[in-house]
Amino acid sequence: MAQGPITALVMHPVVREELLRPDHIERLDRICRLVSSDALRTFDGHDALPRVQVLITSWGSPRIDSAALSALPSLRLVAHLAGSVKGFVDESVWRQGIQVVNAVAANAVPVAEYTLAAILFCNKQVLRLAAFYNRYQENRAPWTKEAPNVGNYRKTIGVVGASHVGRKLLELMRPFDFTVLLYDPYVTALEARDLGARKVSLSELLAGSDIVTLHAPLLPETRHMIGSRELALLKDGTTLINTARGALIDHDALIAELSTGRIDAVLDTTEPEVLPPTSALYRLPNVLLTPHIAGSLGNETQRLSDHIIDEVERYARGQPLRHRVRFDDLARLA
């Protein structure tokens, strides 16, 4: 047993089984003192809670508010083994000087990978040409007649939001021959250049891109940020990709625009999250729907666990944390 910080796992037991393998528990045992290798569901009923210094939380954790903190007087770190801490962590945690970290950066990796794959496939007109080939069962090369402007060379990619996912995507796109535009009101032109993009207005991005991909957080001011006016700015043949939040797009306006066949869409998130059976988005041939799978799935969830255990180890060694969530940033985070 290690002599590190006293640590408790607080999450749904099913989440604990999925995210934390035996080797993760063994590693935690080396760097901290786990009160139990099982997941706690509440902040009462365990004798060790008053001595707990680190909480590793995830989906299924109760909210950490003033009442919870009264049972956790020794708490110094909340390590959230998931994405957003909103809904889990109350502002009283920061007021008491407790540090908070999460796994947003780790979860950004598969989302950015999914988005890059979608960009490459959509510029190659893979879905459209595959449907055409399946229908007519013949090779009509050259395919440029059925897919004008096909190909990835020197295409313009518009990235809306320099979030963790947006920044990871910008990094992944560097080896490709793309022109990259970025819209983010919190990023300067110099910062955008350093990220490999050119900072532009939202209207300029929408009008000038071959692919538009959304990576903004869902906030009151970004809800339905893509509506009928914005969709009308898109060039014919543009593909709109959404791996962020469905409510960033006005779906009535989106369906109306997609129904013309003028643009395409790849939607991993929708509003509502599961569309009703009557939704036209299931039937439109220029739409690819996936069931919110861009984020960590299967073995990708292990990256989240490794990421958070790395942070706990840094804390145990007295090293600076790399993925702190700061209270002042919450208002513009997902």
pLDDT at 261 over 60: yes
Can you read off the two tokens belonging to residue 41? 């569901």
The confidence score (pLDDT) of residue 2 equals 58
First CA to last CA distance, the chain:
37
pLDDT at 318 over 50: yes
List the Cα angle 184/185/188 in 5-degree steps.
85
Can you read off the two tokens belonging to residue 272? 């509502």
pLDDT at 20 over 80: yes
Provide the percentage of residues in the chain whose pLDDT is more than 90: 87
Cβ-based neighbours of 132, under 8 Å, separated by 6 or more: 140, 146
Stretch 165-193: mean pLDDT: 98
**Count of C-beta atoms within a 10 Å radius of residue 3:** 8
pLDDT class of 1 with cuts at 50, 70, 90: very low
User: From the candidates 27, 128, 167, 245, which is the catalytic residue?
Assistant: 245
For CA atoms 251, 253, 256, 258, the dihedral sign is: negative
- Report the C-alpha gap between 250 and 200 in whole angstroms: 22
Residues of the chain with CATH 3.40.50.720: 6-102+298-332, 107-289
Residue whose tokens read 């709109």:
240
pLDDT at 140 over 80: no
DSSP type of residue 100: E
pTM for this model (two decimals): 0.94
Can you read off the two tokens belonging to residue 95? 């007021």
pLDDT tens for each residue of 180-191: 999 999 999 999
Domain 107-289, CATH class in plain words: alpha beta
Architecture (CATH level 2) of domain 6-102+298-332 = 3-Layer(aba) Sandwich (3.40)
**Count of C-beta atoms within a 10 Å radius of residue 297:** 11
Q: Pick the closest to residue 60 from 107, 98, 9 (CA basis).
A: 9
pLDDT tens for each residue of 34-79: 999 999 999 987 899 999 999 999 999 999 999 999 999 999 999 9
Can you read off the two tokens belonging to residue 48? 């060790």
- Report the C-alpha gap between 325 and 85 in whole angstroms: 8
For 218, counting Cβ atoms within 10 Å of its Cβ (0-12 exposed, 13-18 middle, 19+ buried), the class is middle
Q: Is 273 a catalytic residue?
A: yes
> What single letter denotes the amino acid at residue 167?
R
List the Cα angle 324/330/331 in 5-degree steps.
160
Query: CA 102, 108, 110, 115: dihedral to nearest 10 degrees?
Result: 160
Q: Is 245 a catalytic residue?
A: yes
At 150, which helix (H) or strand (E)? Answer: none
Residues 183 and 158 sit within 8 Å (Cβ to Cβ): yes
User: From the candidates 273, 322, 324, 326, which is the catalytic residue?
Assistant: 273
**Longest alpha-carbon distance in the chain:** 73
Distances in Å between the alpha carbon of 10 and those of 75, 189, 255, 330?
13, 42, 41, 22
- Report the C-alpha gap between 8 and 48 in whole angstroms: 9
pLDDT tens for each residue of 80-95: 999 989 889 999 999 9
pLDDT at 131 over 90: no
pLDDT at 142 over 90: no
pLDDT class of 135 with cuts at 50, 70, 90: confident
